[in-house]
Amino acid sequence: MGRLAALGIPAARVDAVFISHLHWDHTGGLAALLGLRAQTNPQVPLAIYGPPGTAEMVKGLLASMKPGAASGYGVPGEGTIDLDKLTSVTELRDRASLAYRGVKVSARNNTHYSFAPESGLAERFEALSFRFDLPGRSIVYTGDTGPSSAVEELAAGADLLVAEMMDVEDTVARTRSFNPDMPDSRSLAMEKHLREHHLLPADVGQMAARAKVKGVVVTHFAGHERDDPAHFEYLRQIAAHYAGPVVIANDLDVF
Amino acid sequence: MGRLAALGIPAARVDAVFISHLHWDHTGGLAALLGLRAQTNPQVPLAIYGPPGTAEMVKGLLASMKPGAASGYGVPGEGTIDLDKLTSVTELRDRASLAYRGVKVSARNNTHYSFAPESGLAERFEALSFRFDLPGRSIVYTGDTGPSSAVEELAAGADLLVAEMMDVEDTVARTRSFNPDMPDSRSLAMEKHLREHHLLPADVGQMAARAKVKGVVVTHFAGHERDDPAHFEYLRQIAAHYAGPVVIANDLDVF
């Protein structure tokens, strides 16, 4: 929400949200967005698109808002806030496609999860990558994913590939140092998840080259910042596979 | 969450949260805090203290996290996240008092709401101000409130009064300009709420003088920023009633 404010975009003017998957570092801001909209402009539903489970998540968020809606502002005679009108949720699955205000949106299930076949979880959950075909420009957002031929298909020929990227060793070391009490079992599961379900710099380069995209912006980046010599090494590792322009984005960059 | 990160405080090291009232600009960040804790250190419950309705709010947030907990990270054999162990909620009412790790915490119901007597809402909801008596230092946080003798009693002789403050005309004009579609009924209710249930600069000065506090930090401030001549006028209006030191805080200031 702070980033929206820094860009001068009021919460009431956000019309739609596309959610790639239900990990909380990708959904944690939705409660604040719904709350601020309800406080200022509750008449226009926020269109929320996301993978299976999105409706249940939003239902919980709206339930969390019931006490606040019941109390209101304590002004006798004030209107009521109808939480049922605050959102409009559409769940998307692999190969979903929709038209949103002149933009064609396409989704593919990527490799951010690798559920055990007998768990039944693959039928229940997906992690999505999105392609937005705007008039004159095509942008693909990987969301979180490991290497994925589905995402390469989705991104074929796109003007811009907005790709996640991960320095696994650095991220594991940093997370452990911030959370010294983290159980080993969780730390090991996290490392396996990071290695298999995210993109290393070389993976980003290979994906961009195979999809023949016209440029790459790296986001959701976990690793050394620009003040560290290791940072430039990431660009070198991408360039070993992909010859086009690459930027590792900072917050609030616009491309 | 961005502010915590800027201060170098990991989410896992936040032990407790005190919520003054259930307006969403005061609760919108809780979902992100719970999510990040669940992703890093789910074994230590976050202690959440707040007014009546807090338990229902947290229950909704935890319900919203169920799909994310069920999918986990898609790593076969990973542990499960027990959402029931993520929080420990204590609801507080007027005159509640508790000891938290050597800090005495006291709460008073303030005047942020003025429910119609026949509505029954005053029995269901309260907006709290908190006093924290630490070893050697006492800090009072008004939360959101209008002028209130209860808060003045709570703040009596405190080292620091952390007080909200509002420039009503400026806030109404700004909110309307950001939300041109806001219904008039909501805008009028908002203005009535702001005038009666928040502190004007003179109110802050009077509260500080009556409570005989040793200093004032203004927070939750809505009005002109320091680059506007009107800003200094707020300090003048406070000083007309209170002779002690006053600072209108910026984010990340430490006192």
Which residue do the tokens 């559920």 mark? A115
Which residue do the tokens 């939300």 mark? B179
* B94-255: CATH class: alpha beta
The pLDDT value given to residue B42: 59
Mutate which of A4, A14, A15, A24 to test chain B, going by most B C-beta atoms within 10 A? Answer: A24
Mutate which of B13, B15, B24 to test chain A, going by most A C-beta atoms within 10 A? Answer: B24
Question: Which of residues 73 through 92 in chain A touch B, CB cutoff 8 A?
Answer: 73-79
Q: Would you say residue B41 has pLDDT above 80?
A: no
The pLDDT value given to residue B83: 93
The pLDDT value given to residue A73: 85
Kindly report, residue by residue over A156-207, the tens digit of the pLDDT: 999 999 999 999 999 999 888 877 877 888 788 888 889 899 999 999 999 9
Measured between beta carbons, the chain A residues lying within 8 angstroms of B178 are 10, 12, 40
Q: A104 and A121 in contact (C-beta within 8 Å)?
A: no
Q: Would you say residue A125 has pLDDT above 90?
A: yes
Sorting pLDDT into bands at 50, 70 and 90, what band is A126? Answer: very high
Question: Which of residues 157 through 216 in chain B touch A, CB cutoff 8 A?
Answer: 175, 178-179, 181-183, 185-186, 189-190, 192-193, 196-197
A43 close to B (CB below 8 A): yes
Q: Nearest-CA residue of chain B relative to A176?
A: B40
Rounded CA separation A109/A75 (Å): 47
Using CB atoms, pick whichever of B71, B175, B181 lies closest to residue A113: B71
Measured between beta carbons, the chain A residues lying within 8 angstroms of B46 are none
Inter-chain touch A12–B181, beta carbons under 8 Å:
yes
The pLDDT value given to residue B107: 98
Q: Kindly provide the residue ranges of all beta strands, DSSP E only, lying in chain A, ordered along the sequence.
A: 16-18, 46-50, 87-91, 97-100, 103-109, 128-134, 137-141, 160-166, 216-222, 246-248
Inter-chain touch B31–A32, beta carbons under 8 Å:
yes
Beta-bridge partners for A125: none
Sorting pLDDT into bands at 50, 70 and 90, what band is B13? Answer: confident
Measured between beta carbons, the chain A residues lying within 8 angstroms of B35 are 24-25, 27-28
Using CB atoms, pick whichever of A1, A71, A189 lies closest to residue B53: A71
Kindly report, residue by residue over B173-214, the tens digit of the pLDDT: 988 887 787 788 878 888 888 989 999 999 999 999 999 999
Using CB atoms, pick whichever of A41, A73, A175 lies closest to residue B181: A41
* Other CB atoms within 10 A of residue A174 CB: 15
| Side chain identity, residue A186 | R
Which residue do the tokens 């910042």 mark? A225
A45 close to B (CB below 8 A): no
What does the pLDDT average to over A211-230?
Answer: 90
Rounded CA separation B201/B180 (Å): 28
CA distances from B106 to B91, B102, B109, B220, B244 (A): 13, 13, 11, 21, 24
The pLDDT value given to residue B48: 98
What does the pLDDT average to over B100-112?
Answer: 97
Rounded CA separation B231/B169 (Å): 14
A12 versus B133: the higher-pLDDT residue is B133
Domain ranges (residues) in chain A: 1-91, 94-255
What does the pLDDT average to over A68-75?
Answer: 89
Measured between beta carbons, the chain B residues lying within 8 angstroms of A36 are 24-25, 28
Rounded CA separation A67/A143 (Å): 33
pLDDT > 70: percent of chain A: 99
Token duo for residue A64? 């969390």
Q: B146 and B127 in contact (C-beta within 8 Å)?
A: no
Kindly report, residue by residue over B110-154, the tens digit of the pLDDT: 999 999 888 899 999 999 999 999 999 999 999 999 999 999 999
The least confident of A148-152, B128-132, B220-224 is B220-224
Q: Nearest-CA residue of chain B relative to A38?
A: B24
Using CB atoms, pick whichever of A28, A42, A66 lies closest to residue B60: A66
Rounded CA separation A50/A190 (Å): 24
Measured between beta carbons, the chain B residues lying within 8 angstroms of A50 are none
Q: Nearest-CA residue of chain A relative to B113?
A: A74
Rounded CA separation A224/A233 (Å): 10
Rounded CA separation A241/A233 (Å): 13
Closest approach of B142 to chain A, Cα-based (Å): 17
Measured between beta carbons, the chain A residues lying within 8 angstroms of B40 are 175, 178-179, 182
Using CB atoms, pick whichever of A12, A31, A66 lies closest to residue B56: A66
B62 close to A (CB below 8 A): yes
Q: How many Cβ contacts (< 8 angstroms) between chains A and B?
A: 243
Q: Would you say residue A53 has pLDDT above 80?
A: yes
B12 close to A (CB below 8 A): yes
The pLDDT value given to residue A237: 96
Q: What mean pLDDT, rounded, does chain A reach?
A: 92
pTM, entire model: 0.92
Closest approach of B168 to chain A, Cα-based (Å): 15
Question: Considering just the CA atoms, what is the radius of gyration of chain A in Å?
Answer: 20
Q: Nearest-CA residue of chain B relative to A181?
A: B41
CA A66 to chain centre: 27
What does the pLDDT average to over A138-148?
Answer: 98
Q: Which residues contact B254 (CB under 8 A, 6 or more apart)?
A: none
The least confident of A79-83, A166-170, B119-123, B234-238 is A79-83
What does the pLDDT average to over A43-48?
Answer: 89
Using CB atoms, pick whichever of B35, B74, B189 lies closest to residue A113: B74
For B146, phi and psi rounded to 5 degrees? Answer: -90, -175
Rounded CA separation A106/A108 (Å): 7
Using CB atoms, pick whichever of A54, A63, A114 lies closest to residue B63: A63
Rounded CA separation A90/A98 (Å): 10
Rounded CA separation A226/A230 (Å): 8
For A226, phi and psi rounded to 5 degrees? Answer: -65, -20
Q: What mean pLDDT, rounded, does chain B reach?
A: 92
Inter-chain touch A74–B114, beta carbons under 8 Å:
yes
Using CB atoms, pick whichever of B34, B61, B193 lies closest to residue A73: B193
Q: A141 and A20 in contact (C-beta within 8 Å)?
A: yes
